[in-house]
Chains A and B, each alone.
Chain A
Amino acid sequence: MSIVFRARSDLLARVRADLHRPHPFAAERVGFVVCRAGRLARGGLVIVAADYEPVADEDYLDNPKVGATMGPAAIRKALQRAYNGGAADLAMFHVHMHAHRGMPGFSAVDHRESRRFVPDFFNIAPHVPHGALVLSRDRAFGLCWTGPDAAPVEIDRFASVGAPLLFWRRR
């Protein structure tokens, strides 16, 4: 299955600017890119970014063992946003950033944590894919779940739609 992720470059800039801000105690910030989906040929999917939902300062847990830990309120607010999508469910993609240039990747902790909470979104918005993204300063990498029990699939191709138009493939 081929999965394409597209976002406007101004939205990505907004996400990066938010994630770059220091937090009172967490070592990094996280948020959610709010998306909708479309079907491609041969069973593929296109995920289209619509908005960004930052995690509020007070919704982090103080956990010095990892860069950032979301508290229950952060998850609840993201689930609420997915639920309020209107006629079609919203696809929620958790996002964090690695402050370097070039292709980023998930750490073992990133993999473990996203496997823990991403499938929960299917309880609220069961008809759309959900996932997790990691941004670098100029690229992105991501995993997409197409169902609560499905194994996550790497996003094949990203496009940053702006001036200039940028696109890249995973690895």
Chain B
Amino acid sequence: MNDRFASQSFLGPESDAIFADVTVGIVGLSGGGSHIVQQLAHVGVGRYVVVDYDRAEARNLNRLVGGTVEDVAASRLKTEIAERVIRNVNPEAEVIARPVRWQEAMPELRGCDVLFGCVDRFNERAQLERVARRFLIPYIDLGMDIHPAASGFSLSGQVVLSSPGGPCLWCLGILTEGRLAEEAKKYGRAGSRPQVIWPNGVLASLGIGLFVQLPCPWHGAAQLTACCEFDGDHHRVETSRMEYAEQLRCRHFPADEVGDQFFARRE
């Protein structure tokens, strides 16, 4: 084992080779995704597909890990910032940076072993999970929300590990027709959503833990599905939603609905 990873040797004698060979896709490189990228680099992940069409702006600096005043002045792509963060820790990493809408990076994302979804909109989260299910890719979804409450504001979020065969975001009640309809009504006038760094850090760390245990289950048996709900007002993480979801048989993604339904050998 490489000395650099001696402190995480409890993950197994081959863990550094496993992480060096795994390909992780991260869609959305702002508040949640920038934390994910940083931690994956420290864990020793060797291959990345980073996707975000956006550029650094001053209003991002309150939560964009690795972002600098210079990046804002240069209007630097968030993919460039992510790649720099990775290479500062792991110069040998293979980084495929796609500064496009993620739907345009499908060939790269299909090749990933694990996908992180760090996007704001429920509709996009639904689409990302569908892609992950069709290509048998474990999908880790991060969602954070700050909304007005009677006594001020309320801060909450969740991390879901959605794996083929297990409960999905629909089973868990994270995605609902009502939420999608509500979002569609607001489309184009949502404005800037409140975001801060610390809940994103909590959610990203939970997501990284779920990712690491997939190939290297240090506690014995890997979890294929998880739902961690963060109550940012009381600084608590709950997993009670899983208790009922574990009994469910996912009816949203049948086992044989996989691959590209429009695939043709020659295009």
Where the two chains meet, the residues of A that have a C-beta atom closer than 8 Å to any C-beta of B are 2, 4, 6-8, 10-11, 34-41, 44, 46, 48-51, 87-89, 126-129, 146-147, 159, 161-167, 169
Nearest neighbor of A11 in chain B, beta-carbon distance: B255
CA gap between A147 and B137 in the complex, in Å: 27
**Which residues of chain A are near B96, meaning CB under 8 Å?**
41
Nearest neighbor of A168 in chain B, beta-carbon distance: B21
Contact B215–A38 (Cβ < 8 Å) = no
Contact B256–A50 (Cβ < 8 Å) = yes
B224 on interface, CB distance cutoff 8 Å? yes
Contact B163–A39 (Cβ < 8 Å) = no
Given A6-B136, A35-B259, A36-B259, A44:B111 Cβ within 8 A: yes
Given A36-B263, A128-B263, A48:B136 Cβ within 8 A: yes
Pick from B21, B216, B261, B267: contact of A87, CB below 8 A.
B261
B134 on interface, CB distance cutoff 8 Å? yes
Q: List 10 A-B contacts (CB under 8 A).
A: A38-B263, A39-B263, A40-B108, A46-B110, A49-B136, A51-B256, A88-B263, A161-B138, A165-B114, A167-B113
Which residues 127-173 in B have Cβ within 8 Å of A in the complex? 134-138, 163-165
CB distance from A34 to the nearest CB of B (A): 8
Given A40-B111, A41-B108, A46-B110, A88:B136 Cβ within 8 A: no
B264 on interface, CB distance cutoff 8 Å? yes
CB distance from B263 to the nearest CB of A (A): 5
Pick from B138, B224, B260: contact of A36, CB below 8 A.
B260
Contact B110–A39 (Cβ < 8 Å) = yes
**Which residues of chain A are near B108, meaning CB under 8 Å?**
40-41
**Which residues of chain A are near B257, meaning CB under 8 Å?**
50
Contact A8–B138 (Cβ < 8 Å) = no
Instruction: Please indicate which of the listed interface residues A6, A11, A146, A161 has the most CB atoms of chain B within 10 Å of its own CB.
Output: A161
